[in-house]
């Protein structure tokens, strides 16, 4: 066989590489398989299609709380999240953050049910008027809804930015 080296030293190296490669590939494969449950993807309501965000899969859903959509029954709160292109209904059981308001940007972590209602385990509200997660700002820019205040150029380095016309406090 012409592909096997003639030198005993080179042959030994070839066998070490041939033995180490499957072990390394197995270790990488097992690591990736173990981490698949800890990965949480971010979606806006228009991106959260049944194909991209199937029922039962843990995701983060972000957008603005639709004005007039909040209703509370005991500790269960139902509201709608929008990105001005689509709307998703969200149900959350528990205490909402103090900064949660209609028209404000939020990120909810949870899963869609078979009826495409999002059942949130965690709801995060923005901490001040100027902050907007980079993912939300990027999605608003991509959909053409982004309008920076005063004609200023929006920051792209993750610095605080806001969308006028929406109360994000």
The residues spanned by each domain of the chain are: 8-37, 41-151
pLDDT category of residue 164 using cuts at 50, 70 and 90: very low
pLDDT for the residue 86: 92
User: Check: CATH 3.40.50.1980 for 41-151?
Assistant: no
Tell me the three-class secondary structure of the chain, residue by residue: CCCCCCCHHHHHHHHHHHHHHHHHHHHHHHHHHHHHHHCCEEECCCCCCCCCCCCCCEEEEEEEECCCCCEEECCEEEEEEECCCCEEEEEEECCCCCCCCCCCEEEEEEEECCCCCEEEEEEEECCCCCCCCHHHHHHHHHCCCCCCHHHCCCCCCCCCCCCCCCCCC
pLDDT tens by residue, 120-162:
999 998 665 566 677 777 877 887 776 665 443 444 444 444 4
Q: What is the mean pLDDT of residues 107-126?
A: 93
**pLDDT beyond 50 at 11:** yes
């Amino acid at each position: 066989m012409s592909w096997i080296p003639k030198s005993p030293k080179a042959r030994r190296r070839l066998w070490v590489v041939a033995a180490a490669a499957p072990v390394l590939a197995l270790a990488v494969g097992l690591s990736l398989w173990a981490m698949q449950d800890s990965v949480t993807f971010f979606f806006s309501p228009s991106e959260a299609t049944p194909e991209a965000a199937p029922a039962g899969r843990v995701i983060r859903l972000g957008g603005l709380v639709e004005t007039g959509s909040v209703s509370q029954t005991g500790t269960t709160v139902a509201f709608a999240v929008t990105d001005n292109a689509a709307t998703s209904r969200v149900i959350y059981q528990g205490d909402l953050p103090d900064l949660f308001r209609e028209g404000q940007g939020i990120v909810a972590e949870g899963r869609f049910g078979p009826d495409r209602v999002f059942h949130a385990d965690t709801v995060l509200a923005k901490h001040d008027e100027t902050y907007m997660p980079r993912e939300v700002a990027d999605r608003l820019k991509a959909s053409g809804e982004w309008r920076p205040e005063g004609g200023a150029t929006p920051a792209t380095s993750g610095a605080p930015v806001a969308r006028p016309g929406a109360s994000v406090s």
